[in-house]
Amino acid sequence: MIRLSRRGARKQPYYRIVVIEKDRARDGRSVEVVGTYNPRTNPASVELKRERIDYWTGKGAQLSDRVKKLVDKAAAATPAAAPVAAVPAAAEPAATPEATPAA
């Protein structure tokens, strides 16, 4: 499960986005920290490790409702990378032992 873990002082929330076993407590021991969320900044700051989130969701981890919204909003805020056109490899002959002169 990927969900928020609360940190920070009283009335000053700061959250870590963590991979954690589903039956653990909200602030219990996590497997990995995959991001942070600070709702106190204007606008709220979200930092995500997209590669790690994709890895864990590939392994079957579920996103909590709030984390799903944060990930979707962060994905919409960053422009999508333009698709890379396939470029054919350069047509240079490979160096083979027969083609190189003996020293």
For residue 9, pLDDT over 90 is answered with: yes
What pLDDT is stored for residue 82 in this prediction? Answer: 43
Q: Please state the φ and ψ torsions of residue 67, each to the nearest 5 degrees.
A: -65, -40
What pLDDT is stored for residue 85 in this prediction? Answer: 47
Containing structural domain, residue 44: 2-77
pLDDT tier for residue 16 given thresholds of 50, 70 and 90: very high
Q: Residues with Cβ < 8 Å from 17, sequence gap 6 or more?
A: 2, 3, 4, 5, 33, 34, 35, 36, 37, 48, 67, 70
C-alpha–C-alpha distance, residues 22 and 3, integer Å: 9
Query: Does the residue 54 lie in any domain?
Result: yes
- Number of domains comprising the chain: 1
C-alpha–C-alpha distance, residues 59 and 7, integer Å: 26
Query: Does the residue 94 lie in any domain?
Result: no
CATH number of residue 22's parent domain: 3.30.1320.10
The residue written with tokens 């002082």 in the block is 9
Query: Does the residue 85 lie in any domain?
Result: no
Does the pTM surpass 0.75? The reply is no
Alpha-helical (H) ranges within the chain are 50-58, 65-77
